[in-house]
Chains A and B, each alone.
Chain A
Amino acid sequence: MITKPFTYYPFQVLFFSVYFALIGIFLQHSGYYHPQALFFSEKASLVYGHQGNLLNVLGLTYPAVPFYFTLFFRLFNPLWAPIFGTSLVMGLWIADLLKILFKSGAGKVPLMCCCLLFLLNPGFIYMAVSGSTGAYVLLFFYLMIKHLFLYFRYNTTYYLSMVGIFFVFLVFTNYHYLWFCLFLMPLLLFIALKSLNLKREHTTQQIQLVFNNVSLRRKILRRTYAIFIIIFLLPVTGFLFFLLLNRLHIGQVWFFVQSPYSSYNSGILGGQFFHGGQWMDIFQNGYFIILISMFILSPLFGIVLMQNGGRTNLVLTLFSVMALVEFMAVKYSPISIGFPQYSLIILASLVAWCNIQVSTNQIKKWQILLGCCALFSLITGILYFLNGPLRQEADFTNAFTLAINDKKESDFLQDQNMVNYLRDETAKKDLVLTDDAVSFQIVAMYGQTRKFLLPDESLFGSALENPQSYAKYILISNPNKPGGAYDVVDIRYPWLYANGWNHTEPVYSTANFRLFKLN
């Protein structure tokens, strides 16, 4: 028996976290940065540097949960902070999932296969080392689903309230998941139906009975809305109040997602998500294909759906997750459909596997299926990443391949050159006027935010009019850099420069940025 390894949950968390963190640091050393991680890192540095409007940064940076994790780990290292955050949360849920798989009788070999899946699947590695929101989504989604299944088993308010509480965290990690409310409706209705303890055996008969009886109809509606409120009250009201605070404080309800100062995923920067790639070439012809992708990336999903042990609530839970992913593909495509979303399916399938009651003589079969599916998911995950449709996933794959081959070549290395120039060739007290809506990666990599004069600062407006009185340098993005259109500094000074403004001279340039010295 392998009881001991699962007795020490903190050590397992530590193991996975350290494993992912080391890969992350190695990749960063090789020049790989996830832009969202740099975005969080820059915001955290602003807080630690007491610079600009801290209230805006602390209250409106979105997604809030990954940002606060980064803020905490910024204590140790500015650029590693997002990696530490994602490594830790991945470690937390993976160790917990392995624990419940073990408790559910997964067996040694299938467990090892699952371990391999989590340790070697580039999708999971990507989420764990990127410092972006994917890992957080997985953690809160996992906890939510786990507690939902616990509620099915024990029928206590505690588990239902935990579903609601983790849903809050999920929404403050990615508000798109609020749509889950919609897709859980059939499941909740079913839970309410079952709690009526009707004598009719078949669900359709029960539904027929309930909807043709006034008293039962009233009961089921009350129960459904009660469950619905317990799960969704906190996330929905939390989100609405967050919108209200945006409205009161900034005057824009959607400021936190629309402003590039608040969210990396703001619409302005959205153009840089799509990349193309074979996987998309093959499958982009219809949303139906996304459905097939789910089954390919997580064959266990199909197996658990088919062999559900007569548990309708389990099937409905899986369907609701599937519907959510599909819906997000339709509504937010292609931004929201990447491996993080497919991994929700893998996760939900594994949790569902733990909750299928099987007879003793069938355990072996289920263990084999689990092991095979885990290995299959590992292989399809690798294939997916080799041909991933999203730019960031492709960037990761490239960076990984190059790092393994000991080659350093990326956009971020170019940015690093700019940072090195600023560090080596400019005096420490010389300020750089820039707009961190676009140049956040430079600010993040530099680490010391006091070097920069940023839009959130009270002097910025004056500095924009009369830069030489406030700063020594101006950092602007190149026209081909995505998001450059938003950059107020970028818009103003190249025009002035081109029209004969003789107070500036270019001193350094990279693929993404240009640095001007003010005379």
Chain B
Amino acid sequence: MTVLDILLEQHAIRDDQAEKITRLAVATGLPLIKLILNYGFLTRKDYGIAMEKRGYSMSRIREEPIDKDILRKFNLEFADRHLVLPLRIAGDRILLAMADPTDQESIRYITTLYQKPVEILTANDLDIVWLAHVHLGEKQVKDAVFSLLRKDPEASAIITFTTSQLVIICLLLAILVSGMVLRFRDTAILMNILISTFFLVAIIFKLYLSLKGSQFELHQPVERKEMASLKNDDLPVYTILLPVYKESDLIKKLIWNLQSLDYPMEKLDVKLLIEEDDSMTLQAVQDLDFPAVFEVIIVPYHLPKTKPKACNYGLHFSRGEFLTIYDAEDLPDSDQLKKVVTLFRKLPDKYICVQCALNYFNRGENFLTRMFTLEYSYWFDYMLPGLDTLDIPIPLGGTSNHFRTFNLRELGAWDPFNVTEDADLGLRAYARGFKVTVANSTTYEEANNAFFNWIRQRSRWIKGYMQTYLVHMRHPLKLLRRIGFRGFLGFQFFIGAPSLTFLIYPILLIIFLIYLVFDMQALRSFFPDWVNYLAIGNFIAGNVLMIYVNMLAVFKRRLYDLIIFAVLNPIYWIMHSIAAYKGLWQLVTRPFYWEKTNHGLSKMMNIHSGE
């Protein structure tokens, strides 16, 4: 009798569901229990009840003593796939924890492996998964952490500042301080000219890119008719990684969002990556009142505790030809996966990643969410297509970046020591000759709506950009040779410049306000008129143009009510500056520390229409 027969007998599932599960088992080669619990057929609670009614009582195996010598013989992949785990020898038998006590294939395997008969403890699959990953996942988690470091030490952010970088930074600071002490006026003029020129070039470059990006407003990389010709049977297995940490409140929403995806269930390989110490989220999955549509992977404890490490770990178990990452609260366009598959099939093999646009469903909630929406609309709808058009490396967004799994592994996956692993990966891919493009599909996320939460998140992003800049600028000439002049320029402006801009912005703002409100004579003694005029002209033009391109982006999305909020950007940039200084501090003191962003704070759960 199989587990399906038991469930049918207990009326836990219907006949049609049983047939579907059998069909899926043949198609995917996955064990029945895996399909039943992870493909939306039955809740864990109902499964437990049905099994107990049939006489299989559920054991609390996490409280059972475990013999590590016994475990050492076993392998994690089998445990994870079949949801079985040998715990210890009890008498002359192997005590075996099984989520499906009727799984004869696993029993035979264990018997052969240990040369002993088994004594079965029926257990909750999540407990088995937890124990298996925690006790057997050491090699995989070490791989997740050190694989890139072993493969390409120069690309790893494990060292924040190299000696030569430290020497250069100290030297520049020394020159600046000496200049300020010895010839303050001349140094101030020189600095002003350098900053003004930098701002001017950066702004013009951004405006140009935005206009370039907006030119392709009507361009659809994938059209509907192309999608219509897709056949489900031809679709590849698609892995979705969902790294979460203490996000128990979002699990239900996550299931709703995943269920809205238009992709055949049997071709999905959804993995919820839960940290070993995150019992809250694990419990939330256990207590779900409706069937889960994902498989749980427990990420064993290992420093640094970062999202890229979790993703690298999840990548080890991924089955998909393509792979993407979503956050727990993400709401992708339902046809996104099909669109990406279509696009990948159209593109040459050198395209490793397709980045989809990100936007926010709770944009109307408060000032922060509105500003976030303005920023993301501009970034994903204008800047990235602009970068794409000009073949400049694209700093990937945190989620909704879809990869060819093989190429991703080949590249060394994400750098676990980098807190903006996405931006780093985009650049690394480009340097290795891979290409990234953007697709006409959007994932709606939850915009951060709380000030301190926002500062935490943004300080991490800015710190990550600084890390990425330092990593890739270890050998500037080598980088220039690898990514070409255009790529190098793009790298300077999109990875290096933002952090510097945010650090400088408040200083310029203060100078401008002094110039505007107080007697400018005081400034004139330090700066000649023409420098002042140029700097302030630049500053004004820069602010206005950046506000304008933000307006364009929300106009394109028909979010007319947000247009006026673009004028509040200077305030938003001051917040960026606060985050930048925090990020800079952390870069020196805690470079790998992952500032956790709390999700699920929004009271709005649906996408609001344009008007």
Contact = CB atoms under 8 A, between A and B. Distances in A.
A223 B560 contact: yes
Nearest to A222: B560
Contact of A54 (B214, B530, B547, B556): B530
A102 to B, nearest CB: 23
B215 A158 contact: yes
A59 interface: yes
Interface residues of B, number: 29
A234 B550 CA distance: 13
Given A55-B530, A226-B563, A237-B544, A157 B537 contact: no
Nearest to B553: A157
Interface string B528-542: 011001001100110
A229 B563 contact: yes
B5 interface: no
Given A226-B560, A230-B555, A161 B540 contact: no
Given A59-B533, A237-B544, A222 B561 contact: yes
A166 to B, nearest CB: 12
A156 interface: yes
Interface in A39-73: 54-55, 59
A156 to B, nearest CB: 4
A59 B534 CA distance: 9
A248 B533 CA distance: 10
B76 interface: no
A249 B528 CA distance: 12
A160 interface: yes
A481 interface: no
Interface in B533-591: 533, 536-537, 540-541, 544-545, 547-548, 551-553, 555-556, 560-561, 563-564
Contact of A241 (B529, B544, B560): B544
A154 interface: yes
B529 A248 contact: no
A223 B544 CA distance: 21
B317 to A, nearest CB: 43
Given A234-B548, A238-B544, A157 B555 contact: yes
A165 to B, nearest CB: 8
A103 interface: no
A55 B544 contact: no
A62 to B, nearest CB: 15
Contact of A233 (B536, B548, B611): B548
Nearest to A56: B529
Q: In this complex, which of A54, A218, A222, A227 has the most chain B Cβ atoms within 10 angstroms of its Cβ?
A: A222
Contacts of A162: 211
Contact of A245 (B533, B552, B564): B533
Contacts of B541: 241
Q: In this complex, which of A158, A223, A234 has the most chain B Cβ atoms within 10 angstroms of its Cβ?
A: A158
B515 interface: yes
Contacts of B604: none
Interface in B197-239: 211, 214-215, 217-218
Nearest to A233: B548
Interface string A132-148: 00000000000000000
A161 B211 contact: yes
Contacts of A194: none
Contact of A157 (B214, B516, B540): B214
A230 B544 contact: no
B214 A156 contact: yes
Nearest to A196: B611
B520 interface: yes
Contacts of A503: none
Interface residues of A, number: 28
Contacts of B551: 229-230, 233
Contacts of B555: 157, 160, 226-227, 230
A411 B536 CA distance: 43
Nearest to B544: A237
Interface in A329-385: none
Interface string A205-236: 00000000000001100110111011001100
A225 B563 CA distance: 9
Contacts of B515: 248
A222 B555 CA distance: 11
B213 to A, nearest CB: 9
A158 B219 CA distance: 12
A158 B211 contact: yes
A248 B520 contact: yes
A238 B544 CA distance: 8
B218 A156 contact: yes
Nearest to A238: B544
A157 B533 contact: no
A230 B530 CA distance: 31
Contacts of B217: 156-158
Contacts of A245: 533, 536-537
Given A229-B563, A233-B548, A248-B520, A55 B214 contact: no
Contacts of A55: 529-530, 533
Contacts of A158: 211, 214-215, 217
Nearest to B382: A157
Contact of A249 (B533, B540, B611): B533
A234 B544 contact: yes
B520 to A, nearest CB: 7
A466 to B, nearest CB: 27
Nearest to A230: B555
Contacts of A54: 530
Nearest to B562: A226
A98 B364 CA distance: 47
Interface in B505-532: 515-516, 520, 529-530
Contacts of A157: 214, 217, 552-553, 555-556
Contacts of B520: 248
B560 to A, nearest CB: 4
Contacts of A226: 555, 560, 563
Contacts of A225: 560, 563
Nearest to B554: A226
B24 to A, nearest CB: 44
B566 to A, nearest CB: 9
Q: In this complex, which of A54, A161, A230, A234 has the most chain B Cβ atoms within 10 angstroms of its Cβ?
A: A161
Interface string A114-156: 0000000000000000000000000000000000000000101
Contacts of B552: 157, 161, 230
A454 to B, nearest CB: 18
Contacts of B537: 59, 245
Nearest to B559: A226
B563 to A, nearest CB: 5
A55 B537 CA distance: 12
A519 to B, nearest CB: 37
Contacts of B211: 158, 161-162
Contacts of A59: 533, 537
Contact of A222 (B516, B544, B545, B611): B611
A218 B561 CA distance: 10
A55 B214 CA distance: 35
B384 to A, nearest CB: 15
Nearest to B520: A248
A248 B206 CA distance: 28
A91 B563 CA distance: 37
Nearest to A165: B211
23 contacts: A55-B530, A59-B533, A59-B537, A157-B214, A157-B555, A158-B215, A158-B217, A161-B214, A164-B548, A222-B611, A223-B611, A225-B560, A226-B555, A226-B563, A227-B555, A230-B552, A230-B563, A234-B544, A234-B548, A241-B544, A245-B536, A248-B516, A248-B520
The 6 closest A-B pairs by CB, nearest first: A158-B214, A226-B560, A222-B560, A156-B217, A157-B556, A55-B530
Given A156-B214, A161-B211, A249-B529, 19 more contacts: A55-B529, A156-B217, A156-B556, A157-B552, A157-B555, A157-B556, A161-B214, A161-B548, A164-B548, A226-B555, A229-B551, A229-B564, A233-B544, A233-B548, A234-B545, A237-B544, A238-B544, A241-B544, A248-B516
